[in-house]
Chains A and B, each alone.
Chain A
């Protein structure tokens, strides 16, 4: 299972790592309970500071997607365990939709894009 980091991407490396893991969880490629590599391994392989990966893991932990088990490292948490409110969950979607509207796309085209992206994101998930 791979995670891709692009140096041309405007997002910071920690954000790319966090987003990449989120996508894999959403697609069901990282099912509940699967172990993630230790921070040191990922940071070493990528050649970045330990804090970069630790921040990504912390963010995922804060969002309830990862749990840190003593002795066995980080594992993917149950997806029903999320404690974020409905409004909180919708906020990034609203921001993304606003961007698309401001870019001049018609509502029907936006709808198409959303459906297509949803299919990509949930590809493989049960």
Chain B
């Protein structure tokens, strides 16, 4: 599990390493070549992996959907509040991202609970209060269990219920996923490693600049 994560993050790092100036981030995930006819000629379009529409509820009972994140850069992860293993570490690292981009309305954070039965809005509300975070920036999400596990796979994050008491009953990757305004995955980071999260914090402006360029 940990080894698989190290391997996958290693793979992703090798693709994203480059200088800070003029840096771009790849679009990750499977892509499809789709052929279409234009004026009798065949044109091939590349269709990139995109996060599908979604609808969850956050710690303040607000609906959070694809419209909430439209045109914004967001970082997402999967956790559960009673997790005794990697989650606290992930949350302490996500707090670094939160503090860094607290005042930038173009950056959002979405943390999905993979134990929605236990992690109700009330539980998430208490958790957020104790973390001293606000829901206009960092949404702690709950919802239909199947929808959450389904979207985890779309973010390429492994998540499953395993019933192992020592681990809290669930297994999930400690990944932080960086997503752009078109819901394309642009980076995968190890949310338990400070150095990897440093990289994430440096990569966010690359997408923010991209967005500005696009508006010109």
Partners in one complex: no
User: Residues on A close to B: CB < 8 A?
Assistant: none
User: Residues on B close to A: CB < 8 A?
Assistant: none
